[in-house]
Amino acid sequence: MIYQRSSALFAEAKKYIPGGVNSPVRAFKAVGGDPIFVKKAKGAYLYDEDGNKLIDYIASWGPLILGHAYEPVINAVVEKAQNGTSFGMPTEIETELAKLAISMVPNMDKIRFVNSGTEACMSAVRLARGYTGKDKIIKFAGCYHGHSDSFLIQAGSGAVTFGSPNSPGVTQGTAKDTLLASYNNLAGVKELVQANKGELAAIIIEPIAGNMGCIVPTDEFIKGLREICTQENILLIFDEVMTGFRLGKGGAQEVLNIKADIVTYGKVIGGGLPVGAFAAKTEIMDFLAPDGPVYQAGTLSGNPLAMSAGLAMLTELNNAPEVFKSLAEKTAYLHKGIVEVLTEKNVPHQINRFGSMISVHFTDEPVVDFASSAKGDNDTFKKYFHGMLERGIYLPPSAFESYFLNDALSYEDLDATINALKEIDL
């Protein structure tokens, strides 16, 4: 395939935009080469500025669960835009979406809309701190909760060692209140909790991780977190920005049968437009301004275009829950096909999958946390990524990202993807 126009557009973008992109993973730094510039998309396909057609496995990093330019969503946005794009005042559609979202997810009474997953997670932690009167939080290595200062922390060397910032601009003062644990390591969490007895406001986790590949929690681990939080008066925050309304109507809480104290949402809830949200029981949510002392605000929060897209998307999913089964079956089919090809090629690999999330890791060892994910052979991944791209398959341009399938993908698309892999020399 030819990507001359994409390369020219990237060169031009770098003159005016840092790194030529507005989100780092788009720059192809992890895989090399120039990023692809998209012109349009429809269903399961991307069409780039060079006229290439690509089968899409990122779905805008998750929100487009029913495919690109899904007609009910597009129609809802266009219709709403004709009445104005933003008011900075309440609108009825905010309540409609809130009512629908709360009816679909377990264990939540009220929801507050924001503009991104980063805002949702940042606000959820602030709310947890305000509600509990405690400052420290535990997060897990490899889980990404947006670029808020509290979350850009790297590992300390033990249970009582504080993390340190892994981005300039994040202060040591912020870092000292964020403790880092290993995913799927319950003993490590218990050690941290005991070393910081009575000081922890929250434990925040991606219940199905998607930012170190797709990593599934063990039953012991996820149930153990719930038990620890209950025993120690710590709020359990599920970051369901990726998993909410993707793994099932009720998200990870439903499929894992675990009740979180606060849940954050994004991606699907915006139907492709910028929306985030966080939800909890009434007694927690009533600590938010204007009812309570914890301040959070945003002029574009509850934007009518974003609300209309989200309402249209969630209405479709609520009325046709069989889509979750359909997506899971397609993902399982892709999983089976990739395993057969890589096994025949004698290429070491691990494939993690849950619902419509899947990731391929070029390693002999099971991938259960960030450390094991980081052991993957990145040179093989680069060959894999570019080989697939040359054959019209667009995968996440990083070995640390989950694929997100959309239901517009046909079995012919899945077969084309598996057959493309057969042609690559790994």
**56, 239, 261, 407: the active-site residue:** 239
CB distance 263 to 206 below 8 Å = no
Tell me how far apart the alpha carbons of residues 418 and 380 are, in angstroms, rounded to a whole number: 17
pLDDT of residue 154: 63
Tell me how far apart the alpha carbons of residues 193 and 248 are, in angstroms, rounded to a whole number: 31
Quick check: is 144 catalytic? yes
- CATH 3.40.1380.20 is held by the domain 4-69+321-422: no
CB distance 392 to 48 below 8 Å = no
Sign of CA dihedral 341, 344, 350, 355: positive
Domain ranges of the chain: 4-69+321-422, 71-319
pLDDT of residue 151: 84
pLDDT of residue 164: 59
Cross-strand pairs, 38:
48
- CATH architecture classification, 71-319: 3-Layer(aba) Sandwich (3.40)
Give 10-residue mean pLDDT values along the chain (426 residues): 91 96 91 96 98 97 97 98 96 98 97 96 97 96 88 54 65 85 96 96 97 96 98 98 97 97 97 97 97 95 97 97 97 98 97 98 96 94 97 95 97 98 96
pTM of structure:
0.95
Quick check: is 267 catalytic? yes
Tell me how far apart the alpha carbons of residues 185 and 198 are, in angstroms, rounded to a whole number: 21
Main-chain dihedrals φ then ψ at residue 206, nearest 5 degrees: -80, 110
**134, 136, 139, 267: the active-site residue:** 267
pLDDT of residue 160: 38
pLDDT of residue 159: 38
Give one DSSP letter per residue of 212-248, joined into a string. SS-BPPPHHHHHHHHHHHHHHT-EEEEEETTTTTTSS
CB distance 91 to 110 below 8 Å = no
Question: What is the rounded end-to-end Cα distance, in angstroms, of the chain?
Answer: 19
**3, 45, 70, 144: the active-site residue:** 144
The answer for residues whose C-beta is within 8 angstroms of residue 285's C-beta and 6 or more apart is: 109, 110, 111, 112, 127, 279
Residue 105's SS3 state is coil
Tell me how far apart the alpha carbons of residues 79 and 404 are, in angstroms, rounded to a whole number: 28
Main-chain dihedrals φ then ψ at residue 312, nearest 5 degrees: -65, -45
Which structure tokens are listed for 404? 């997100």
Tell me how far apart the alpha carbons of residues 387 and 164 are, in angstroms, rounded to a whole number: 38
Helices (H), 375-422: 378-390, 411-422
Distance, C-alpha 231 to centroid of its chain: 29
Length of the chain: 426
Main-chain dihedrals φ then ψ at residue 51, nearest 5 degrees: 90, 10
